[in-house]
């Protein structure tokens, strides 16, 4: 195996809408030059001569897009989860990120992160690095070698940050421009993304500089928005001119369909309308929002309003790198929100969470997250035999169970990104 054209044979499941899945038992998923030619019950003659990978009895589902996580924070995930955002940044995230000034440390820490991401269910990711350009390029080099498709951001911070994790406005803008020039065309699968950490860390003049760099290099943007109530109060003080937190980015032209805003837990009507009208993506990070006690984002409302949305693990605000766990958490959080906060917003179903993890986040990358003809062929072959039961289950029931029980006996047997073998 395997050239970029091949056939996967097995039990195939993918979302055709947020509320519907297509399931084919003993079906054939055809990949031509890295792109899906569709799913067939009987293999058409035209594809009979292609190499075939027999995954009979295993599940074949689209790859997952993790549209928000912090690579340097992988080193301390699962530690210090009993704080709220600002204290957690000061006591855990910032001190860890300062270590990435040391390339030897970055080599070790990013080596572990990249190996684990490669083995995970994630096929595409949108990643924060740190403000250090050499370590960020090292991360990009390592990710490129995995075959995953990623966006990676050199982080910008010129205020309200510790001395060893702060640049001046001039240094930050200059370093970002040089880094964008060096990396924008360097890789096949790895791209730079402009990354103002969040408004409290980025002065208005630097925000304007970053908007100009983004324009010049035609780059996407990622940041954080309305995650925590103290953070929102702080932004109101820092940007008294803004009509809402999202406006503190939108004012500089930083919202749009190539922008991801992580969290959006406490966004009000005006902010949601800004997100919707601009096509900005929300990265819904249910585990992080629970562990940092930020709250429960109104994911159902975003779906109903037509706000673009995908899922994020937000390592290390979230502890788990698993997109299956992320889907399960999205469902659980929405049920608590419905029961305890707002019964006008129905909980998410497992099918909706599956759609968010595949098509919802995948669409940030283009035609990604489905097996419909024309989509990039990102696929996971899942072995669910170890999640034992005496029952004969339907294909969707097996996928649903895998979402909740992946860590208890599930195994990712193969992984493909744009038709390329990753594992
Ligand atoms: N807001 C600004 N920086 C961060 C971060 O590293 N993690 C989370 N969860 N929120 C942030
Ligand atoms: Fe984050």
Write the pLDDT tens digit of every residue in 293-342: 999 999 999 999 999 999 999 999 999 999 999 999 999 999 999 999 99
Q: How confident is the model at residue 1 (pLDDT cuts 50, 70, 90)?
A: very low
Q: What is the pLDDT of residue 200?
A: 98
Answer yes or no: pTM beyond 0.85.
Answer: yes
CA of 110 to the centre of ligand 2 (A): 17
Is the N-terminal amide bond of 168 cis, ω within 30° of 0? no
CA of 288 to the centre of ligand 2 (A): 8
Q: What is the pLDDT of residue 104?
A: 98
Task: Give the ligand whose atoms come closest to the C-alpha of residue 86.
Answer: 1
Please tell me if the CB atom of residue 197 comes closer than 6 angstroms to any atom of ligand 1. yes
The CATH number of domain 64-365, selected from 3.40.50.2300, 3.30.565.10, 3.40.640.10, 3.20.20.140: 3.20.20.140
Can you name the CATH fold of 6-62+369-421?
Urease, subunit C; domain 1 (2.30.40)
CA of 356 to the centre of ligand 2 (A): 18
Q: How confident is the model at residue 405 (pLDDT cuts 50, 70, 90)?
A: very high
Q: What is the pLDDT of residue 3?
A: 61
Chain region(s) in the chain for CATH 2.30.40.10: 6-62+369-421
| Degrees, nearest 5: CA angle 68-233-90 | 55
Chain region(s) in the chain for CATH 3.20.20.140: 64-365
Name the average pLDDT for the chain.
98
Please tell me if the CB atom of residue 400 comes closer than 6 angstroms to any atom of ligand 1. no
Query: For residues 226 and 232, is the Cβ–Cβ distance under 8 A?
Result: yes
Please tell me if the CB atom of residue 161 comes closer than 6 angstroms to any atom of ligand 1. no
Query: For residues 275 and 239, is the Cβ–Cβ distance under 8 A?
Result: no
CA of 186 to the centre of ligand 2 (A): 26
Please tell me if the CB atom of residue 97 comes closer than 6 angstroms to any atom of ligand 1. no
What share of the chain has pLDDT > 90, as a percent?
99
CA of 399 to the centre of ligand 1 (A): 31
How remote is the C-alpha of 57 from its chain's centroid?
Answer: 29
Task: Give the ligand whose atoms come closest to the C-alpha of residue 155.
Answer: 1
pLDDT tens, residue by residue, 134-176 = 999 999 999 999 999 999 999 999 999 999 999 999 999 999 9
Q: What is the pLDDT of residue 369?
A: 98
pLDDT tens, residue by residue, 61-117 = 999 999 999 999 999 999 999 999 999 999 999 999 999 999 999 999 999 999 999
Please tell me if the CB atom of residue 286 comes closer than 6 angstroms to any atom of ligand 1. no
Mean pLDDT across 406-418 = 97
Residue 2 has pLDDT above 60, yes or no: no
What distance in Å separates the CA atoms of residue 97 and residue 150, rounded to the nearest whole number? 20
């Amino acid at each position: 195996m395997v050239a970029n054209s091949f056939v996967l044979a097995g039990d195939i499941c993918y979302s055709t809408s947020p509320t519907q899945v297509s399931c084919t038992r003993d079906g054939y998923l055809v990949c031509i030059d890295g792109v899906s030619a569709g799913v067939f019950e009987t293999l058409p003659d035209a594809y009979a001569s292609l190499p075939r990978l027999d995954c009979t009895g295993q599940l074949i589902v689209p790859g997952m897009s993790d549209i928000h996580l912090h690579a340097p924070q992988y080193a301390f995930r699962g530690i210090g989860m009993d704080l709220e955002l600002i204290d957690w940044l000061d006591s855990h995230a910032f001190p860890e990120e300062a270590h990435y000034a040391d390339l030897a440390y970055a080599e070790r820490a990013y080596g572990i992160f990249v190996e684990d991401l490669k083995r995970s269910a994630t096929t595409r990711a949108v990643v924060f690095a740190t403000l250090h350009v050499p370590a960020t390029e090292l991360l990009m080099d390592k990710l490129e070698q995995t075959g995953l498709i990623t966006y990676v951001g050199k982080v910008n911070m010129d205020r309200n940050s510790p001395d060893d994790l702060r640049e001046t406005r001039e240094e930050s803008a200059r370093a970002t421009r040089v880094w964008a020039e060096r990396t924008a065309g360097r890789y096949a699968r790895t791209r730079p993304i402009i990354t103002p950490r969040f408004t409290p860390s980025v002065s208005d003049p630097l925000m304007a500089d970053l908007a100009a760099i983004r324009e010049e290099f035609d780059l996407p943007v990622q940041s954080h928005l309305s995650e925590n109530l103290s953070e929102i109060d702080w932004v109101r003080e820092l940007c008294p001119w803004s009509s809402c937190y999202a406006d503190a980015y939108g004012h500089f032209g930083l919202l749009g369909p190539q922008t991801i805003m992580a969290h959006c837990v406490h966004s009000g009507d005006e902010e949601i309308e800004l997100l919707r009208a601009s096509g900005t993506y929300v990265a819904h990070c249910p585990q992080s929002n629970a562990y940092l006690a930020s709250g429960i984002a109104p994911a159902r409302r975003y779906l109903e309003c037509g706000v673009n949305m995908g899922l994020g693990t937000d390592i290390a605000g979230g502890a788990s790198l698993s997109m299956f766990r992320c889907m399960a958490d999205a469902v659980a959080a929405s049920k608590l929100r419905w029961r305890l906060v707002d019964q006008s917003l129905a909980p998410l179903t497992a099918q909706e969470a599956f759609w968010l993890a595949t098509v919802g986040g995948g669409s940030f990358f283009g035609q990604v997250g489905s097996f419909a003809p024309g989509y990039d062929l990102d696929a996971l072959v899942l072995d669910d035999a170890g999640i034992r039961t005496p029952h004969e289950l339907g294909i969707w029931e097996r996928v649903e169970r895998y979402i909740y029980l992946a860590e208890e006996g599930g195994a990712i047997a193969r992984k493909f990104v744009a038709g390329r073998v990753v594992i």
